[in-house]
Amino acid sequence: MAIIKTEHLTHLYGKGTPFEKAAIHDVNLEIEEGELVGVIGHTGSGKSTLIQHLNGLLKPTSGHIYIDDTDIFENTQILQKTRFKVGLVFQYPEYQLFEETVEKDIAFGPKNLGFTEEQINEAVSHAMECVGLSDKFRKKSPFELSGGQKRRVAIAGVIAMRPKVLILDEPTAGLDPKGRDTILNLISDYHRAEKNTVLLVSHSMEDVARYCSKVLVMNQGSVFSYGTVAETFSRADEIEQIGLSVPQVTRLFSLLSKEGFEAGEEVYTIARAKEILLQKFLQKGGTNDVI
């Protein structure tokens, strides 16, 4: 069942002026419940405009958006409920932290949803666990934390509202490699545990290939492709023609293929590359001792 569906979704900036421009145009999309979808595209491809429509922050110029088979702009009440059902974490969300303690910041959303004190406490504990923050952080000021910890608090504030869909816009932007891996692993663990739908906007093809089950490629405001990771990166040449980079390991195996090395499939993660190379090595009489 599609939890997210768009029909002929179009959004114009500067409508009726000489500067009118279609940020997204005629987007038809269905995302099944429980998917972890990577959303990729070059700057100006329409990624951010699209995701801001999915919880009603932007209203379409034309077309429809359905969450759980309900048109989110049918009336004001449905739109308000949608904004809690579809949680959106903006780029650099730590800039939106404002409460005096981590606990109060994470509790802000549940309080506005009308949760009881018991429900709020449970939601805060659950969200902190999801982002790998122990109870010792509850009473700390979020402004005393590291950049990566602040990012986790901000994400926890959205998770605490128990959204059915979690959208993260470049959640690892500005973090060092260790912080990036921590955030991505936590998102992956959250997705597996909650079985919710997660949309991950990213510029990193490697991260999308490693963590996501489906990939949405946006180009010039329209859907270029939507499919599994394997289906997406099997079109490596086409993707590169629209200005995107495929994972480095995919490019490497493409070059090896041209030199006569047949992997038998598209390779888009380091882990799968290792498996294939080891298999080929063993077929040639090598041993596992080299690994």
Q: What is the pLDDT of residue 106?
A: 97
The model's pTM is: 0.88
* Percentage of the chain modeled with pLDDT above 70: 96
- What's the sign of the alpha-carbon dihedral 271, 272, 275, 278? negative
Tell me the per-residue pLDDT of 39-73, one tens digit each, with 9 for 90 and over.
Answer: 999 988 999 999 999 999 999 999 999 999 999 99
Q: What is the pLDDT of residue 287?
A: 57
Q: CATH fold of 1-94+164-241, please?
A: Rossmann fold (3.40.50)
Tell me the per-residue pLDDT of 119-165, one tens digit each, with 9 for 90 and over.
Answer: 999 999 999 999 999 999 999 999 999 999 999 999 999 999 999 99
pLDDT band at 262 (very low <50, low <70, confident <90, very high): confident
Q: Which residue has the higher pLDDT, 147 or 253?
A: 147
Q: What is the pLDDT of residue 247?
A: 79
Residues of the chain by 3-state class (helix, strand, coil), percent to 5: 45, 20, 35
Rounded CA separation 134/168 (Å): 22
CA dist 85 → 130, 150, 155, 179 (Å): 18, 23, 15, 27
Domain ranges of the chain: 1-94+164-241, 99-157, 247-291
Place of tokens 């997204």: 24
The arithmetic mean of pLDDT across residues 238-266, rounded, is 78
The arithmetic mean of pLDDT across residues 106-114, rounded, is 93
pLDDT band at 28 (very low <50, low <70, confident <90, very high): very high
